[in-house]
Chain A
Amino acid sequence: MSFEPKIVAFLCNWCAYSGADLAGVSRLSYPPNMVPIRVMCSGRVDPQFVLEAFRSGADGVFIGGCHTPSDCHYVAGNFKAFKRVVVLKKMLEQLGIEPERLRIEWVSASEGRKFAEVTADFVDTVRKLGPLGLEKGKS
């Protein structure tokens, strides 16, 4: 059987989560590999959450927030998330985790189609990268 990646998605309540809801309402299908965790803002995503996800066996981590510069319901939480992701990616590289396993995307509440598309694309990317080899070494 081919490899099916496990992905955790942190979706901000106002944009990405609502966009995912719209994808559902519009019956747009996408791969079922991503389990959503609803957070109020992408700015809530502590870099440690991402590391914990990889440590617990995730092959990829997705963060969905509101469009920059000004869609964020909390003014600029999306910018904060973005800056953290930039630093995190560098750190992941040093840990031997491909930075492409972490993706941040801006999906508005009206972009059901975009949500379905980026999900499919991310699942595909992670599938090509193969399983993350950390789970065995989990302390």
Chain B
Amino acid sequence: MARIGVFVCHCGINIAGVVDVDAVVREISKYPDVVHAEHYKYMCSDPGQNLLVNAIKEHRLDGVVVAACSPNMHENTFRNACERAGLNRYRCEMANIREQSSWVHAEAPEQATAKAVQIIQVVVEKVKLNAQLKETGVPITRRCLVIGGGIAGIQAALDVADAGYEVILVEKSPSIGGHMAQLSETFPTLDCSQCILTPKMVAVARHPNIKLMTYSEVVDVRGYVGNFKVKIHQHPRYVTKDCNICGKCEEVCPVIVPNEFDRNLSPRKAIYLPFPQAVPARYTIDTNHCLGLNPLVCGKCREVCEAKAIDYDMQAEDIEVEVGSIIVATGYELFPKEKIGEYGYGVYPDVIDGLEFERLLSASGPTGGQLIRPSDGKVPKVVAFLQCTASRDPESYLPYCSKICCMYTAKHAMLYKHHVHDGNAYVFYIDIRAGGKDYEEFVRRVMEEERITYVRGKVSKVFRRGDKMVVWGADTLTGEFVELEADLVVLASGIVPSPDTKKVANILKIPVDENSFLKEAHPKLRPVETLTQGIYICGAAHGPKDIPETVAQASGAASKAISILSGKELYHEPTTAEVNTDACSGCRVCVNLCPFSAISFNERTHTVEVNEILCEGCGTCVAACPTGALKLRNMTDTQIYNMIRAALS
């Protein structure tokens, strides 16, 4: 006979406004083994927790059900409270009558009340047979993996490394820096982007605690918080550390291809340095375009290399590392203009996206900072900036606001006027969203001091007429059709997650949202955590955001990662599978089913064994065991049968 106590939370009116808590207490008091039931306004408050602690002592409860919100919210709160009352934390469970009853059945209070009772009954049945378990301590690998070397990854890596922990920073491209390295100046202060970024890049390269792995990709992650085993694939760059970036190889290389760093607005060679301040400062041979890594085919670069740094025999390497926590910062890409039919599917050279315009403005860009248009090299006298390109357009493209485009367009228009004093800039917008420190002031300054024409309305079509780009739009403030002959059209294209974000999310088994951005554990209170303990997220891979916000989030993710690394030891959930060796027939069905290789076969006893540290407690093996020898602790078959019956009673 168990002695179960049920505590029903009002959650203000969140639960009690729909569910009749008096009736619930009345009903559940009649349920077998429930010896005490009461309701309270806020169970999670201090008085609420004290009420729980006192009731456990007073009524000698040996099991507790708190009927309140989702266990993802307060399971720990109440389990800790139970421990304070001397009750094993695994004898406490939550019944979710808020998210899964009151909030979704508001229009049917009676049914919501009945369902709440059923939900509580189900959980009471579980608690009745819950064993008293103890968490197992596991050692921590005090090292952090950061995936992505943009400003988010750089900031996170530096923060963790400064706290005294080893960091492995993995970047897919040949240099760290990300999109921030491509920007000319940053809003609203007009700091030169590279000038503020490169000191951080150098700090990464020089930091004794950071192991930088560029041209590398994470291909496999196993394990759990504190003890992840990561496999990193390092592509061969065919240039060794001896490279002194003299640039002679580049001069002689006969292969010319578009330069991705300049958004294909300039050429580069097959052996290249992405940009002058690249970290690491080493050339890379792009084997997709190199004539062949063989002195007989070309070999010009190797001939001129005085440092003897070119090694055609360099091999790809798979490196395995162990880390305790992981930070994902895989960044963003712009919505491809090739997909936007009304603006010409990317075929007009004078319709460019925001990052291309950044390169044209940049002093280190393809034109050396001279603002000319790509088609004929003329200075554009009329420029149209199209905000919300692909953003805020749920019918055709992206449903969300890309957040940074209002600001960068204002900056673009301002910088354009600084370059071309007699030029005219027009900005087409839906709304101006300038919610950031000094942002509104900046946009106002652009509108008023720089005399930029802001037209409120979306552009329906862009097409070529002679050497002009014609922009058709509407001015929704006057209700008039607008036609503008522009020399250059700049699209403030929406932000999408980088293509590798989904890939990395799959490897890490962390969820993405409906737009493929990384999903946080809680949108307000756990914004840098994922549902998987030990894995944290930051930067634009999580959603469109500007640099200050990205840096702040990266530091937040770093502090979370550090809190794992700095702990004494970690606790592994004891709700794992266990085997009754008397019943095990040694069929080994479970051995192959286990995704974590936690089950092994003992040849001597002819039974299986479960490694409790490797077992994650999914229960797949238990569901498959033909003899019932496997049992999932605190989620046994008997418990589930009882829960099913309780759900239907």
Task: For B635, list chain A residues within 8 Å (CB).
Answer: 39-40, 44
Across the interface, name the chain A residue whose C-beta is closest to B118: A35
Cβ of A90 within 8 Å of any chain B Cβ, yes or no, is: no
B509 CB to nearest chain A CB (Å):
5
Interface residues as binary, B637-648 with A (CB distance below 8 Å gives 1, 0 otherwise):
100110111011
A73 B107 Cβ-Cβ under 8 A: no
Task: For A99, list chain B residues within 8 Å (CB).
Answer: none
A37 B104 Cβ-Cβ under 8 A: no
A8 CB to nearest chain B CB (Å):
5
Task: For B593, list chain A residues within 8 Å (CB).
Answer: 80
A43 to B511, CA, bound (A): 18
Cβ of A133 within 8 Å of any chain B Cβ, yes or no, is: no
Complex partner residue of A46 from B104, B111, B122, B622, CB under 8 angstroms: B622
B511 A15 Cβ-Cβ under 8 A: yes
Cβ of B267 within 8 Å of any chain A Cβ, yes or no, is: no
Cβ of B532 within 8 Å of any chain A Cβ, yes or no, is: yes
A35 to B620, CA, bound (A): 22
Cβ of A131 within 8 Å of any chain B Cβ, yes or no, is: no
A29 to B108, CA, bound (A): 10
A18 B72 Cβ-Cβ under 8 A: yes
A24 B98 Cβ-Cβ under 8 A: yes
Interface residues as binary, A81-112 with B (CB distance below 8 Å gives 1, 0 otherwise):
00010000000000000000000000011110
Interface residues as binary, B355-396 with A (CB distance below 8 Å gives 1, 0 otherwise):
000000000000000000000000000000000000000000
B99 A21 Cβ-Cβ under 8 A: yes
Task: For A116, list chain B residues within 8 Å (CB).
Answer: 104
B517 CB to nearest chain A CB (Å):
9
A57 B648 Cβ-Cβ under 8 A: yes
Across the interface, name the chain A residue whose C-beta is closest to B125: A37
A37 B643 Cβ-Cβ under 8 A: yes
A46 B648 Cβ-Cβ under 8 A: no
Cβ of B46 within 8 Å of any chain A Cβ, yes or no, is: no
A44 B618 Cβ-Cβ under 8 A: yes
Across the interface, name the chain B residue whose C-beta is closest to A76: B595
Task: For A39, list chain B residues within 8 Å (CB).
Answer: 619, 635, 640
A85 to B106, CA, bound (A): 33
A109 to B616, CA, bound (A): 19
B623 A75 Cβ-Cβ under 8 A: no
A24 to B104, CA, bound (A): 5
A64 to B344, CA, bound (A): 43
Cβ of A23 within 8 Å of any chain B Cβ, yes or no, is: yes
Which positions 513-572 of chain B face chain A at CB distance < 8 Å? 513-514, 519, 531-532
Task: For B595, list chain A residues within 8 Å (CB).
Answer: 74-77
B644 A37 Cβ-Cβ under 8 A: yes
Cβ of A27 within 8 Å of any chain B Cβ, yes or no, is: yes
A45 to B96, CA, bound (A): 20
Most chain A CB within a 10 A radius of its CB, from B112, B575, B624, B648: B648
A109 to B507, CA, bound (A): 17
A32 B111 Cβ-Cβ under 8 A: yes
Task: For B98, list chain A residues within 8 Å (CB).
Answer: 24
Across the interface, name the chain A residue whose C-beta is closest to B575: A40
Cβ of A126 within 8 Å of any chain B Cβ, yes or no, is: no
Cβ of A28 within 8 Å of any chain B Cβ, yes or no, is: yes
B619 A35 Cβ-Cβ under 8 A: no
**Chain B: how many interface residues by the 8 Å CB criterion?**
52
A44 B623 Cβ-Cβ under 8 A: yes
A14 B96 Cβ-Cβ under 8 A: no
B625 CB to nearest chain A CB (Å):
9
A57 to B646, CA, bound (A): 11
Complex partner residue of A40 from B618, B637, B648, CB under 8 angstroms: B618
B123 CB to nearest chain A CB (Å):
9
A70 to B105, CA, bound (A): 32
A77 B99 Cβ-Cβ under 8 A: no
Task: For B648, list chain A residues within 8 Å (CB).
Answer: 6, 8, 35, 53, 56-58
A21 to B624, CA, bound (A): 29
A70 CB to nearest chain B CB (Å):
4
A72 to B100, CA, bound (A): 22
B514 A110 Cβ-Cβ under 8 A: yes
Interface residues as binary, B289-309 with A (CB distance below 8 Å gives 1, 0 otherwise):
000000000000000000000
Cβ of B77 within 8 Å of any chain A Cβ, yes or no, is: no
A27 B103 Cβ-Cβ under 8 A: yes
**A29-B106, A45-B623 known; A24-B644 Cβ under 8 A:** no
B162 CB to nearest chain A CB (Å):
32
Cβ of B244 within 8 Å of any chain A Cβ, yes or no, is: no
**A35-B122, A80-B624 known; A29-B105 Cβ under 8 A:** yes
Which positions 268-325 of chain B face chain A at CB distance < 8 Å? none
Across the interface, name the chain A residue whose C-beta is closest to B514: A110
Task: For B512, list chain A residues within 8 Å (CB).
Answer: 110
A101 CB to nearest chain B CB (Å):
14
A23 CB to nearest chain B CB (Å):
6
Cβ of B506 within 8 Å of any chain A Cβ, yes or no, is: yes
A14 to B645, CA, bound (A): 24
A48 to B620, CA, bound (A): 14
A44 B514 Cβ-Cβ under 8 A: no
Cβ of B586 within 8 Å of any chain A Cβ, yes or no, is: no
Interface residues as binary, B136-148 with A (CB distance below 8 Å gives 1, 0 otherwise):
0000000000000
**A27-B104, A30-B104, A36-B100 known; A109-B511 Cβ under 8 A:** yes
Cβ of A25 within 8 Å of any chain B Cβ, yes or no, is: yes
Across the interface, name the chain B residue whose C-beta is closest to A57: B648
Cβ of A117 within 8 Å of any chain B Cβ, yes or no, is: no
B616 A74 Cβ-Cβ under 8 A: yes
B632 A35 Cβ-Cβ under 8 A: no
Across the interface, name the chain B residue whose C-beta is closest to A53: B644
A73 B509 Cβ-Cβ under 8 A: yes
Task: For A43, list chain B residues within 8 Å (CB).
Answer: 618-620, 623
Cβ of B490 within 8 Å of any chain A Cβ, yes or no, is: no
Most chain A CB within a 10 A radius of its CB, from B118, B122, B509, B593: B509
B623 A80 Cβ-Cβ under 8 A: yes
Across the interface, name the chain B residue whose C-beta is closest to A26: B103
Cβ of B119 within 8 Å of any chain A Cβ, yes or no, is: yes
Across the interface, name the chain A residue whose C-beta is closest to B616: A74
Cβ of B48 within 8 Å of any chain A Cβ, yes or no, is: no
**A77-B595, A109-B511, A110-B519 known; A49-B620 Cβ under 8 A:** no
Across the interface, name the chain A residue whose C-beta is closest to B106: A29
Task: For B103, list chain A residues within 8 Å (CB).
Answer: 24-25, 27
A37 B511 Cβ-Cβ under 8 A: no
Task: For A14, list chain B residues within 8 Å (CB).
Answer: 511, 531
Interface residues as binary, B110-144 with A (CB distance below 8 Å gives 1, 0 otherwise):
01101100110010000000000000000000000
B67 CB to nearest chain A CB (Å):
13
Cβ of B101 within 8 Å of any chain A Cβ, yes or no, is: yes
Cβ of B71 within 8 Å of any chain A Cβ, yes or no, is: yes
A71 B620 Cβ-Cβ under 8 A: no
25 A-B residue pairs with Cβ-Cβ distance under 8 Å, sorted by A, are A8-B644, A18-B72, A23-B99, A30-B105, A32-B101, A32-B104, A32-B108, A35-B119, A36-B96, A36-B119, A39-B635, A40-B617, A41-B619, A44-B623, A45-B623, A46-B623, A52-B644, A53-B644, A56-B645, A58-B648, A71-B509, A73-B618, A77-B595, A84-B623, A116-B104
A-B pairs, top 7 by smallest CB distance, nearest first, are: A24-B99, A44-B619, A75-B595, A43-B620, A74-B618, A41-B618, A24-B103
